[in-house]
Amino acid sequence: MNIGNSFNTQTTNHINQNRTNAEETLSKIGAVRELSGKDNANLIIANSLNLQISTLTQEIQNSNETIGMMQIADSAVSNISQNTEKLNELSVRSNNAALNSDQQQMLTQEFQATKDAIQDIVDTTSYNGQSLLSSGSNLQVAGLDEVSIENQDSIAEFKEGLNSLHSEIGSNTNKNAVSITNSLSAVSSLTSAYANISEEPINQKINDLEKNQVKLESSIIAQTHQTDILQKRISALLV
């Protein structure tokens, strides 16, 4: 079972669709350059407004890209957390004195295979060719080499690191979502001023963009909540 995979897939699809819609809308906004007034004063004002709008819309696109990247990292960390629960289960089982050597060996082999699966997730998680979780990245998964079947404390420390990483990803996602909302509000104000000297009103385009952002934020919240619930259920089953 992959924790949050279906929700992550839906959210990622929503992010991609939202980004496409945003780019189309922002492109149309940038294209509206016909002015109702032809004097230099209007042109100067229009150019100033357009420069501010262009800067903000680029920031919106950058934040959307970051959110997409964080969602991929979050999905990977959730899968690693699931496998870490399995490592802990195998470690507990291996401490049973009633097991014979063959059974101990089988548990050790399964433990190593699970570690290899985690390392594979770390090595292959990327966004636009950029590694997200490997050594040197800002979201590095560290401490896996120290994890052993004989040492449950090492597993607990690794899990604690994953929890911190998960919180960091969530915080980064929320920060960029708030940034988008604030930027959209600023763009809305600027485009209202621009529309006063433009032949084509564009407020409706901005309103649609803001509605899509609300849907995106709701999807992120739902995905995070569902992932936490599933992780708690699995932890309860392993007790």
- The residues, any chain, with a CB within 8 Å of residue 185's CB and separated by 6 or more, are 210
pLDDT tens digits along 157-198: 999 999 999 999 999 999 999 999 999 889 888 888 777 765
The pLDDT score that the predictor gives to residue 34 is: 47
**How far, in Å, CA of 115 to CA of 119, rounded?**
6
Homologous superfamily of domain range 5-238: f41 fragment of flagellin, N-terminal domain (1.20.1330.10)
The pLDDT score that the predictor gives to residue 74 is: 94
- Name the residue among 171, 169, 147, 172 with its Cα closest to residue 158: 147
Average pLDDT over residues 85-113: 94
pLDDT at 118 over 90: yes
The pLDDT score that the predictor gives to residue 15 is: 65
pTM exceeds cut of 0.85 = no
Least confident of 86-90, 101-105, 191-195: 191-195
Strand, helix or coil at 149? coil
Burial class (CB in 10 A: 0-12, 13-18, 19+), 131: middle
DSSP for 22-64, please give it: HHHHHHHHHH---BS--SHHHHHHHHHHHHHHHHHHHHHHHHH
**How far, in Å, CA of 178 to CA of 137, rounded?**
24
pLDDT tens digits along 212-233: 666 666 666 666 555 555 555 5
Question: Could you tell me which residue, 57 or 20, shows the higher pLDDT?
Answer: 57
- The residues, any chain, with a CB within 8 Å of residue 18's CB and separated by 6 or more, are 64, 212, 213, 215, 216
Q: How far is CA 39 from the centre of its chain?
A: 46
pLDDT at 54 over 70: yes
SS (H, E, C) 183-218: HHHHHHHHHHHHHHCECCCCHHHHHHHHHHHHHHHH
Count of alpha carbons within 13 angstroms of residue 99, beta-carbon side: 15
200 forms bridges with which residues in the sheet?
none
pLDDT tens digits along 6-29: 545 565 666 666 666 666 666 655
pLDDT at 36 over 60: no
- For residue 2, name the pLDDT band (cuts at 50, 70, 90): very low
Query: Domain-by-domain residue ranges, the chain?
Result: 5-238
**How far, in Å, CA of 72 to CA of 53, rounded?**
29
Strand, helix or coil at 79? helix
The pLDDT score that the predictor gives to residue 4 is: 44
Q: 130 — phi, psi (to 5°)?
A: -100, 125
- Helix (H) / strand (E) element for 130: namely strand 130-131
Which tokens hold the place of 113?
């295979």
